[in-house]
Amino acid sequence: MFRRLVLILVLLLTAAPSAPSLAAPGPFVVVLGVGQDAGYPQAGTPPGPEWEPERRRMAASLGLVDSRSGKRWLFDATPDFREQLHQFDRVAEAPGVPGLAGIFLTHAHMGHYAGLIHLGREAIGARGVPVWAMPRMAGFLRENGPWEQLVRLENIVVRELHDGQRVALAPDLGVTPIEVPHRDEYSETVGFFIEGPDRSVLFLPDIDKWERWDEVAGAPGQIESWIRRVDVAYIDGSFFQDGEIPGRAMSEIPHPFVAESLERFAALPVSERSKVRFLHLNRTNPALDRNSEEAELVRRAGCHLAVEGERQEL
């Protein structure tokens, strides 16, 4: 009798459908990096406490996982691609190498696409990884080495995005690019509206001043409108305040200062301010130290600093 029960149990287990390889019950995003393009500490930083492993910050990136389909996507391919893919594997491993159903690129500054080199013949030798990019960015990849080799050898397949046009990843999961003003030497710049079955996220790591966005759009309150629309807003926090980089005119790199954002968002209800999570923090930004006075100011204002590894269910 006991042997028969064991046999029945074995048959039931082997007949059961295999569980998906990604652990969560539904779609979610995970933060894979919160630093500016070059991460923290940057190359050339002298030996010191900055190099302690617990203080390191990788370049800003998000991962998107749909455990129902076993697929996952990356937002920006940073210079920290190798480590971030490893961290992504630890969160939600997918079959194959690199195990990516695609990569969405915001623009052509080094911290946002340079990691594509790891898909080439010198490294992974990937086959047909979809890379979504705006038209100028797509042209930049197709026409300039070493990126054109990735296209020619079909390590990647470039797919064009268009401002405001949704890319459906599943019936209830989509990504929409939002074009924003930035230093567009080689490509357009976009943020991404990531919309799941229940919740949504804004990923906007790079932009010029909020006022510039209002001016280009021809209407005030662009960032406030998006904060109201989403459940979580990961936004540009490159610099905390003016004068942060000695000897350099910060007007040349006109990101919205965190201090300016806090002042501007003060008019929002607490429920809206709590959605804000700053990332893309430059090595000079004192808020990188979560025990700093500046980090405390962010918290007192009802906002947050993004943390590597944090997850948001969609």
DSSP string, 197-235: SS-EEEEE---S-HHHHHHHHTSS-HHHHHHHHSSEEEE
Q: Higher model confidence: residue 232 or residue 244?
A: 232
Q: How confident is the model at residue 1 (pLDDT cuts 50, 70, 90)?
A: very low
pLDDT tens per residue, range 69-122: 999 999 999 999 999 999 999 999 888 899 999 999 999 999 999 999 999 999
Phi then psi for 235, rounded to 5 degrees? -130, 165
* pLDDT band with cut points at 50, 70 and 90 for residue 22: low
CA angle at 280 for the pair 275 and 285, rounded to the nearest 5° = 100
The mean predicted confidence, pLDDT, of the chain is: 91
Q: How confident is the model at residue 252 (pLDDT cuts 50, 70, 90)?
A: confident
For the whole model, what pTM was predicted? 0.91
- How far apart are the C-alpha atoms of 154 and 150, rounded to whole Å? 6
Q: Name the nearest CA neighbour of 122 among 141, 102, 148, 149.
A: 149
Predicted confidence (pLDDT) per residue in 192-212, tens digit: 999 999 999 999 999 999 999
Residue 20 above 80 pLDDT? no
For residue 71, the model assigns a pLDDT of: 96
Q: Which helix (H) or strand (E) element contains residue 312?
A: strand 311-313
According to the 3-state scheme, what is the secondary structure of 236-250? ECCCCCCCCCCCCCH
Structure tokens at 100: 């990516």
The packing angle between helices 258-265 and 293-300, to 10°, is 20
Bridge partners, residue 33, by sequence:
61
pLDDT tens sequence across 164-181: 999 999 999 999 999 999
**CA 52/CA 48 separation, integer angstroms:** 8
Residue 48: enclosing H or E segment and its boundaries? Answer: none
Estimate to the nearest angstrom the gap between the alpha carbon of 74 and the chain centroid: 7
* Angle CA 234–308–118, to nearest 5: 95
pLDDT of 13 > 70? The answer is no
Q: What pLDDT is stored for residue 77 in this prediction? A: 98
> What is the C-alpha to C-alpha distance for residues 303 and 296, in angstroms, rounded to an integer?
10
Measured distance CA(106)–CA(113) in Å, rounded: 8
In this predicted structure, what is the pLDDT of residue 258?
Answer: 97
Domains of the chain: 22-40+58-313 (3.60.15.10)
Integer Rg of the chain from CA = 21
**Pairing between strand 311-313 and 28-33?**
antiparallel
Q: Which strands form 167-170's sheet, in the order they lie side by side?
A: 167-170, 173-179, 190-195, 200-204, 232-236, 276-279, 304-305
So what's the pLDDT on residue 169? 98
User: Residues 254-309: pLDDT tens digits?
Assistant: 899 999 999 999 999 999 999 999 999 999 999 999 999 999 999 999 999 999 99
Q: Which of 30, 142, 149, 158 is nearest to 94 (CA)?
A: 30
Nearest Cα residue to 149 out of 116, 110, 112, 171: 116
pLDDT band at 18 (very low <50, low <70, confident <90, very high): very low
What is the mean predicted confidence (pLDDT) over 141-159? 97
Specify the pLDDT at position 184.
87
Q: What is the pLDDT of residue 3?
A: 46
